[in-house]
Amino acid sequence: MHTIIRSIKTKQSAPAFASAFRKPHYDCQEQTDALKLVVYVPGVDPAGIDLEVRGPDLVVTAPKSHQVRINWRAAHLEGAQRDYQLRLRLGFSLAYDALQAVLHGGVLTITIPKKSVVAATCAVA
């Protein structure tokens, strides 16, 4: 009797640059009255940045400006030229409608006040 042994195909993992986005480096600092996010997005135009709130989540999408050089040669830059996307679960205790964002020198600074501070400010006014 013959036995047919079939080779087991392992699932090949996708290359690191297969995703359309890459996660930027960031720093999160909790202050007494707000949450401050510093996101490092070099090569991004301020007009293209998209900040989206989905319930307790904040999604920052920052497309890079893609330039084709005249003397273009394949240099395996697929990973370095991907757009940035950061997804953070920050919770419901922040006033997303009062969010402020500033981009300077490839550093995006996002300040989100806490709801208790916004409510106290409105009550005083």
Percent of the chain with pLDDT over 90: 42
pLDDT in tens, 22-62: 899 999 999 999 999 999 998 888 888 999 999 889 999 99
**pLDDT-based confidence at 125, cuts 50/70/90?**
very low
pTM exceeds 0.75: no
Is 113 or 16 the better-scoring residue by pLDDT?
113
**Residues pairing with 25 in the sheet:** 40
Is 82 or 77 the better-scoring residue by pLDDT?
82
Per the CB < 8 A criterion, the answer to whether 29 and 15 are in contact is no
Question: What are the structural domain ranges in the chain?
Answer: 21-65+77-124
Q: Which fold has domain 21-65+77-124?
A: Immunoglobulin-like (2.60.40)
